[in-house]
């Protein structure tokens, strides 16, 4: 079991460029999440998904898009990158509704927009 994997680990973008952060989990979890962590801060939810084909906005969705075509994958798309999107991005998964299991986190992607 690899758990939650994220690629890439690091990336530097220029302002206006686009990229996709990849996230895959092999635990057959229904729920998946994307968070961002700004320096010295806690994590904030960007988007989440409760199953394939179903996504919804979190606390800070502006500037991002997601899709969920399979249970395993939940990519995060950045369009027109801005310096304010410089952050560490975490993907997480959870078995599903009405469980108290913790969220399982990936190792994070450090993104810098210059």
Partner 1 sequence: AQTVTQSQPEMSVQEAETVTLSCTYDTSESDYYLFWYKQPPSRQMILVIRQEAYKQQNATENRFSVNFQKAAKSFSLKISDSQLGDAAMYFCAYMGPYNNDMRFGAGTRLTVKP
Residue 107 sits in the site that holds partner 1 (CB under 8 A): yes
With respect to partner 1, which residue has the nearer C-beta, 9 or 14? 9
Rounded to an integer, what distance in angstroms lies between the CA atom of residue 48 and that of residue 51? 9
Shortest Cβ 79–partner 1 spacing (Å) = 24
Fill in the per-residue mask, 44 to 63: x = in contact with partner 1 (CB under 8 A), - = not in contact: xx--x-x-----x-xx----
| Cα 31 to Cα 1, 27, 97, distances in angstroms | 17, 11, 8
Rounded to an integer, what distance in angstroms lies between the CA atom of residue 31 and that of residue 9? 22
Interacting residues with partner 1 (CB under 8 A) = 31, 33, 40-45, 48, 50, 56, 58-59, 88, 90, 92, 94, 96-100, 102-103, 105, 107-108, 110
């Amino acid at each position: 079991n690899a758990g939650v994997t994220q690629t890439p680990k690091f990336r530097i973008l220029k302002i206006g460029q686009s990229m996709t952060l990849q996230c895959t989990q092999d635990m057959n979890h229904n729920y998946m999440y994307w968070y961002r962590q700004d320096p010295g801060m806690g994590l904030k939810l960007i988007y989440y998904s409760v199953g394939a084909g179903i996504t919804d906005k979190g606390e800070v969705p502006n500037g991002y898009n997601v899709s969920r075509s399979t249970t395993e994958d939940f990519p995060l798309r950045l369009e027109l990158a801005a310096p304010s999107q410089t952050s560490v991005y975490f993907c997480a998964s959870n078995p599903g509704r009405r469980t108290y299991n913790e969220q399982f986190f990936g190792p994070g992607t450090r993104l810098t927009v210059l």
